[in-house]
Structure 1
Amino acid sequence: MKRLILMRHAKSDWDHPDLEDHERPLNERGQRSAKALGDWLRAKGYVPDQALVSFAQRTLETFARLNLDLEAEVKERLYLASPDMMYDHLLQAKGDVVLMIAHNPGSAYFADGLVAKAPDHPRFDDYPTCATLVADFDINHWIELEPKTGVTVDFTVPRDLLK
């Protein structure tokens, strides 16, 4: 059995128009959201043993604020990646529980293409910032991954946690 935790980065700060897109940090709401998602992951026992993270500042900061006990594998090609690129990265993963932090629209399309049945959540289709899908796959190695074979275990967004 393999598990994927697919997360879109938390809310970024648009107050610095001089920054390149990949340099934008999180805003205060994004910082709170990322911490809440880290707390949620640990409370639910969704603890990754491998983390594949886009090289953008907002994804790296999201990962750091999750406060997980592992190092991120920073992947430049996950920056604004298409679902196909995300799939290629996952096929090469070695962990049993892989956290992938990337961007939209790729994350939304990738999530939809992975699970056999979408979670019953009104925000799944648009995959807002810090949206997180937990899906299980009945495979021994990631290279065996096939589209639409994932079983949705859980899905949440920051608004569910920060009420």
Structure 2
Amino acid sequence: MTMRLVLTRHAKSDWDNPLETDHQRGLNARGKRAAPLIGRWLTEKGYVPQEALVSDATRTRETWSLLSANWPQIPVRFDPALYHACPDVMLRVLRSAKAQTILMIGHNPGIATLAALLLRKPYTHSSFSRYPTCATLVVEFDAEDWSAVGYDKGVALDFIVPRELE
């Protein structure tokens, strides 16, 4: 069986309100433009997930809302464990997923590190190592379920950053 992971960093966040905590920061105008672009790209490429695992931070929730606005309703879990999670925690959360195609929305540096660790071969794209805001990797695994997925087992299908879609 093939398991597919769509790994997205949250869209560009707003730093204008000094009274907000990091967890409370929402998206800025650029982020609000970028997330729907990624959502449309995922639809056009046939990568719409069946389940979503999203950090519970405001900016990841907003990214999810804008990215998925034109999709059929799918189960979503806003998980506090994904807030600034390290790759091992992100992998543990992923292993609890039920659907065959999963979207995970998280934060750097964890999401960039996880993306690199999951792949059998390094991915060549000028922005991959930075994993800028709203960067999205689509990776497949030959596995029966998510418990069998681990580092160095994935094959990259696609990678995009919003700038390429504007």
Give the TM-score band, short-chain normalised: over 0.9
Q: How does 1:1-163 map to 2 (within 5 A)?
A: 1-66=2-67, 67=69, 68-69=71-72, 70-162=74-166
Query: Residue by residue, what CA displacement relative to the aligned partner does 1:38-63 show, whole Å, maximum 9, x if unpaired?
Result: 01000101010010000000000000
Instruction: Report the alpha carbon displacement of residue 30 of structure 1 after superposing the two structures with TM.
Output: 0.2
Q: Alignment identity in percent? A: 49
Instruction: Report the alpha carbon displacement of residue 91 of structure 1 after superposing the two structures with TM.
Output: 1.1
Please tell me whether the aligned partners of residues 118 and 124 of structure 1 are also in contact (alpha carbons under 8 angstroms): no
Instruction: Report the alpha carbon displacement of residue 120 of structure 1 after superposing the two structures with TM.
Output: 1.9
Using the alignment, how far apart are the partners of 1:151 and 1:71 within structure 2?
25
Unaligned runs of 5+ in 1: none
Query: Residue by residue, what CA displacement relative to the aligned partner does 1:62-92 show, whole Å, maximum 9, x if unpaired?
Result: 0000123224211011000000100100111
Q: Secondary structure at the match of 1:2?
A: strand
TM, length-normalised to structure 1: 0.97
Please tell me whether the aligned partners of residues 13 and 26 of structure 1 are also in contact (alpha carbons under 8 angstroms): yes
Unaligned runs of 5+ in 2: none
Using the alignment, how far apart are the partners of 1:82 and 1:139 within structure 2?
23
Please tell me whether the aligned partners of residues 10 and 105 of structure 2 are also in contact (alpha carbons under 8 angstroms): yes
Instruction: Report the alpha carbon displacement of residue 146 of structure 1 after superposing the two structures with TM.
Output: 2.3
Instruction: Report the alpha carbon displacement of residue 144 of structure 1 after superposing the two structures with TM.
Output: 0.6
Using the alignment, how far apart are the partners of 2:76 and 2:17 within structure 1?
26
Please tell me whether the aligned partners of residues 63 and 72 of structure 1 are also in contact (alpha carbons under 8 angstroms): no
Q: Secondary structure at the match of 1:109?
A: helix
